[in-house]
Amino acid sequence: MFDPTPILSGDRRALARLLTRIENGAPEAEAALAALFPHTGRAHTLGVTGPPGSGKSSLVNELAKALRARGQTVAIVAVDPSSPFTGGAILGDRIRMRDLSGDRGVFIRSMASRGALGGLARATSEVVTALDAAGFDKILIETIGAGQAEVEIARAAQTVLVVEAPGLGDDVQAIKAGILEIADVLVVNKADQPNADAAVRALRASLDLAHPAARHWTDGAHHHHAPHPDPLPAGEAIWIPPIVQTVAIQGKGVDELLEVIEKHRAHLQASGELARRERERLSHELETRLRDTLLAGLLARLGNGQLSAALERVLARELDPTTAARQLAERFKTQDSNSKLET
Amino acid sequence: MFDPTPILSGDRRALARLLTRIENGAPEAEAALAALFPHTGRAHTLGVTGPPGSGKSSLVNELAKALRARGQTVAIVAVDPSSPFTGGAILGDRIRMRDLSGDRGVFIRSMASRGALGGLARATSEVVTALDAAGFDKILIETIGAGQAEVEIARAAQTVLVVEAPGLGDDVQAIKAGILEIADVLVVNKADQPNADAAVRALRASLDLAHPAARHWTDGAHHHHAPHPDPLPAGEAIWIPPIVQTVAIQGKGVDELLEVIEKHRAHLQASGELARRERERLSHELETRLRDTLLAGLLARLGNGQLSAALERVLARELDPTTAARQLAERFKTQDSNSKLET
C-alpha cells in the first residue's frame, strides 16, 4: 500500500523516487498516482515551447527566479522528445543548477523519451500529477523543438508560452505557423538583437491571420495590452495572445511576462476556459489509458500464438493489418455478445 | 466492393482520389487498402528527415530527377507533423511543381497532420501502401523537422536519410544526436559553404560515438566508402552510415548519394535486415490497429453514458484516469470470463 503522506508533505526524496518509478514504468507508480490524484488540480501548469535557438531554457530559468522572488514554489519539467535514444541532458541543466540549486522551493526534472512518444506524453502527465500533488504553485513544462510532439505535450498545460527569437531563419519562421494556434502568450526572446522588431511584426501578422476576430484591435501600439474598445463581460472575454519581448539572459521583460501569465490564469478561471481545458485533458487521458488497458487485456488472453499467426499472415501479404486487427478483436466481441444473448 | 484494378494499372486520378479518402479517414478507404495490400512490398521506401534549413526539399527534388533519369518512377510524400492545424503547404511544393510537373513518372503528395500525431502516422503508412501497390519504384517520405514525430514517420521506411547542413547552430547540432541512430545514410547538404568541413567532422565524431564498432574504420580518408579491412561475409556485413556531401540546388553529389542508397537497399536484402524491418513495421502497425479497434468496440458497447459517468468522477478527482480505464475495461473482461467458465 502506497502512503502518499511524505510526498504531500513536501518530502523531496520521496518525490524524486516516485518520479523515477514513473519514468521507468514501474508497476508501483500506478497505485501511488491513484493515491495522489485526489490532491491535484491546484497548480498552475505552464507549457513552454518554441524552436531550438529561441532561448527557452534561459527564459524558464529566469521565470523560475522571478516566481521564487514572489514567494511561489516552482517545478520545472524539461522534456526532450527529439532525443528518443540517447537520453542526454541537452536542456542546459548545468546553467540551471548554478542559478537555482540549493533552493528548496524549486524542483527540476529532465525527461527524455526512451521509447515511444506516447510513453513520453504519459510519463510527463504522470510526473505533472505528482508535482501538483506535492504542492508546487507553478509547474513549467519545457519542451525542446516545435514539432507535433512538443505541441501535444505543451498543450496539456493550462497556459502555453510559445517562445521565438529573431533571425532563426525562414524555415523556423514557417514552422511557427502551426504552433501559433496553441499559444496563449507569445514571447520574442533575445529582443535586444537588431532584427527583433521585424520578428515581432512578422509574429503579429501571423497572429492576425490566426485570430481574425482580433484584427481590428491591432492598429494601436501595444495593442496586445490595450483593453477591447467595447469590453465583453469579464466571464466571456476573448483572450488574444499578447506578444511579450524579453532578453532572458539579462532578466529583461521577465516581470512583464509573469504579469501576463497571471492575467491569463485569471482569464481562464473567469471565462470557464480552465474547466473546459481540464475536461479535454482528462478526457483524452482516460481514452489513452483505455486503449492501453484493452490491448494489454486482449494480448494476455489471446496468448502469443494467435497474435503471431496473424502477423505471419500479414507478412505473407494474405491479410492487411486493419483486417487482421478486426478479426482478432472480433473473437472477443462474439464470445461476449453470445454470453449476453444466452443468459 | 472496391475495384483495385485502376490503381494497380497506373490510373493517377483513381490514386489521388483514394489518397484523399485516406487523409479524410473515409470508411471506404479501409476496403480499398485491404484489396491493395497483397500487391505491396515491391517499392523501395526512403525516409528523409533533418532539421529545418538543411535543404531537404531541394534534395528530395534532385533525387527524384536523378531517379527519373535512371528510368525509375518516384512518389514523394511530404509530411509536415509540425503543422497540426493549418495544413498549409510549407514544403516548397511550388519549387517542386516547376521542376517535376508534367512527368507522369513522378507523383507528389503533401500531408499535414490535422488531428493527432497517431492519425498522421497511420495516414502516412496507408498512403505509402497505396503508392506501393500503384507500382512506384521509389517512395520518398520527407518529413520536416527532426523531432520524435518525424523520427517515427521516417523510421517506417527501409532506408533513412538524415540531412544536415553547416551552420544551423548548436541547438540543432545537439538535436541530431537523437536522430543519428536511425540514420542509414547521412547527408551534409550545402556542402559548398565554408564551414561544411567542420560539419562533416562533427557528424563523423557523433557517428563514431553512436557506432562504437566502427571507430577503427574512421582513420583513413573516405573511410565510409572503404571496405572493411577484413570483410565480413556479404550476408552479415554491418552497415556503417556513410556521410555524403551534396549541394542540392546545384545537383552536386546527388548521383553519389543515389549510389549509396542503392547499396543500402542491396545490403538490406543480402543481410536479412529488410525482412527484419518489415516484420517490425507490420507488427507495430497490427498493434496500433488493434488498439483502435478495441477502443471503438468498447465505446460502441458502453454507450456514452458509462464513459461520461467515469469522466465526471475523474473530473471530481474521485478516481484517477488509470483506475477509471481499468474499471471500464474490467466489465468487458468479467462478463467474458464468466461466459467461458459457465459453458
Give chain B positions within 8 Å (CB) of A51.
52
A176 in a domain, yes or no?
A: yes
H or E element in which residue A109 lies: strand A106-112
Give the end of a domain, one of B243, B271, B299: B271
Mean pLDDT of A169-195: 72
For the segment A220-249, what is each residue's pLDDT rounded down to a tens digit? Answer: 333 344 444 444 444 456 898 999 999 999
Q: Which of residues B285 and A233 earns the better pLDDT score? A: B285
**Chain A contact present for B99, CB below 8 A:** no
Instruction: State whether ipTM is beyond 0.85.
Output: no
Q: pLDDT tier at A332 (50, 70, 90 boundaries)?
A: low
Same-domain status, B86 and B9: yes
Same-domain status, A326 and A267: no
Same-domain status, B203 and B328: no
Same-domain status, A311 and A265: no
C-alpha cell at A112: 527524455
Which residues, 6 or more positions from A289, have their beta carbon under 8 angstroms from its beta carbon? B321, B322, B324, B325, B326
Mean pLDDT of A104-115: 78
Q: How far is CA B67 from CA A97, A267, B63, B109, B132, in A?
A: 52, 56, 6, 17, 16
Using an 8 Å Cβ cutoff, are B243 and B207 in contact? yes
Q: In chain A, pLDDT over 90 holds for what percent of residues?
A: 46
**What is the distance between the alpha carbons of residues A53 and A188, in angstroms, rounded to a whole number?**
12
What's the confidence (pLDDT) of residue B341? 43
Same-domain status, B197 and B337: no
Q: Do A37 and B317 touch (CB under 8 A)?
A: yes
Q: Which residue segment(s) compose the domain that B315 sits in?
A: 288-342
Which residues, 6 or more positions from B208, have their beta carbon under 8 angstroms from its beta carbon? B214, B215, B218
Mean pLDDT of B225-236: 43
Same-domain status, B307 and B256: no
A65 in a domain, yes or no?
A: yes
Using an 8 Å Cβ cutoff, are A25 and A118 in contact? no
For the segment B290-314, what is each residue's pLDDT rounded down to a tens digit? Answer: 988 998 888 888 877 888 999 999 9
Q: Is the dihedral of CA B340, B341, B342, B343 positive or negative?
A: positive
Give the end of a domain, one of B211, B242, B271: B271
Average pLDDT, chain A: 80
Give chain B positions within 8 Å (CB) of A326.
289, 293
Mean pLDDT of A298-321: 89
CB contact burial A292-309 (16+ within 10 A = b; e otherwise): bbbbebbeeebeeeebee
For the segment A71-97, what is each residue's pLDDT rounded down to a tens digit? Answer: 999 999 988 765 543 333 444 454 555
Q: SS3 for A113? A: coil
A44-49 sheet: strands from edge to edge: A106-112, A74-80, A138-143, A44-49, A159-164, A185-188, A243-245
What's the confidence (pLDDT) of residue A203? 78
Q: Which range has the worst mean pLDDT, B3-17, B23-37, B63-77, B165-179?
A: B165-179
B62 in a domain, yes or no?
A: yes
For the segment B265-281, what is each residue's pLDDT rounded down to a tens digit? Answer: 999 999 999 999 999 99
Torsion of CA B145, A23, A163, B58, to 10 degrees: 0
**What is the distance between the alpha carbons of residues B231 and A49, in angstroms, rounded to a whole number?**
47
**Chain A contact present for B323, CB below 8 A:** yes
The packing angle between helices B254-271 and B273-315, to 10°, is 90
Strand partners, A78: A110, A142
Same-domain status, B315 and B233: no
Q: Which of residues B115 and A165 earns the better pLDDT score? A: A165
What's the confidence (pLDDT) of residue B221? 36
C-alpha cell at B106: 513522378
Same-domain status, B298 and B168: no
Residue B8 pLDDT > 90:
yes
A276 in a domain, yes or no?
A: no
What's the confidence (pLDDT) of residue A218? 36
In SS3 terms, chain B reads as CCCCHHHHCCCHHHHHHHHHHHHCCCCHHHHHHHHHHHHCCCCEEEEEEECCCCCHHHHHHHHHHHHHHCCCCEEEEEEECCCCCCCCCCCCHHHHHHHHCCCCCEEEEEEECCCCHHHHHHHHHHHHHHHHHCCCCEEEEEECECCHHHHHHHCCCCEEEEEECCCCCHHHHHHHHHHHCCCCEEEECCCCCCCHHHHHHHHHHHHHHHCHHHHHHCCCCCCCCCCCCCCCCHHHCCCCCCEEECEHHHCECHHHHHHHHHHHHHHHHHHCHHHHHHHHHHHHHHHHHHHHHHHHHHHHHHHHHHHHHHHHHHHCCCCCHHHHHHHHHHHHHHHHHHHHHHC
Mean pLDDT of A166-183: 60
Q: Which range has the worst mean pLDDT, A108-122, A192-206, B61-75, B295-309?
A: A108-122
Give chain A positions within 8 Å (CB) of B282.
311, 314-315, 321
Q: Which range has the worst mean pLDDT, A53-57, A308-312, B59-63, B174-178?
A: B174-178
B189 in a domain, yes or no?
A: yes
Question: Min CA distance, B230 vs chain A (Å)?
Answer: 30
Residue B152 pLDDT > 60:
yes
Using an 8 Å Cβ cutoff, are A108 and A140 in contact? no
Residue (of A189, A205, A206) closest to A54 by Cα position: A189
- Output A219-226 pairs: Cβ under 8 A, ≥24 positions apart: none
Q: Which of residues A341 and A205 earns the better pLDDT score? A: A205
H or E element in which residue A48 lies: strand A44-49
For the segment B64-120, what is each residue's pLDDT rounded down to a tens digit? Answer: 999 999 999 999 998 876 554 333 344 445 455 556 667 889 998 888 755 555 577
Same-domain status, B260 and B303: no
Residue A175 pLDDT > 50:
no
Give the end of a domain, one of A218, A241, A271: A271
**Chain B contact present for A209, CB below 8 A:** no
**Chain B contact present for A25, CB below 8 A:** no
Question: Min CA distance, A180 vs chain B (Å)?
Answer: 9
The packing angle between helices B28-36 and B12-23, to 10°, is 130
| Pairing outcome for strands B44-49 and B106-112 | unpaired
Same-domain status, A224 and A324: no
Q: In chain B, pLDDT over 70 holds for what percent of residues?
A: 74
A33 in a domain, yes or no?
A: no
Q: pLDDT tier at B188 (50, 70, 90 boundaries)?
A: very high
Same-domain status, A128 and A260: yes
**Chain A contact present for B41, CB below 8 A:** yes
What's the confidence (pLDDT) of residue A229? 41
Identity (one letter) of the amino acid at B256?
A: E
Using an 8 Å Cβ cutoff, are B165 and B57 in contact? no
Nearest CA in chain A to B52: A171
Window B:143-162, CB contacts with A under 8 Å: 144-152
Q: Which of residues B217 and B67 earns the better pLDDT score? A: B67
Q: What is the DSSP letter of A147?
A: S
H or E element in which residue A139 lies: strand A138-143
Q: Do A325 and B292 touch (CB under 8 A)?
A: yes
Mean pLDDT of A184-201: 89
B276 in a domain, yes or no?
A: no
| Length of chain B as a residue count | 343
What's the confidence (pLDDT) of residue B157? 93
Q: Which of residues A341 and B12 earns the better pLDDT score? A: B12
Using an 8 Å Cβ cutoff, are A187 and A210 in contact? no
B283 in a domain, yes or no?
A: no
Number of domains within chain A:
2
Q: Do A148 and B113 touch (CB under 8 A)?
A: yes
CATH of the domain at A178: 3.40.50.300
C-alpha cell at B77: 510524400
What's the confidence (pLDDT) of residue A233? 44
Same-domain status, B189 and B334: no
Mean pLDDT of A112-117: 56
| Pairing outcome for strands A44-49 and B44-49 | unpaired
C-alpha cell at B64: 527524384
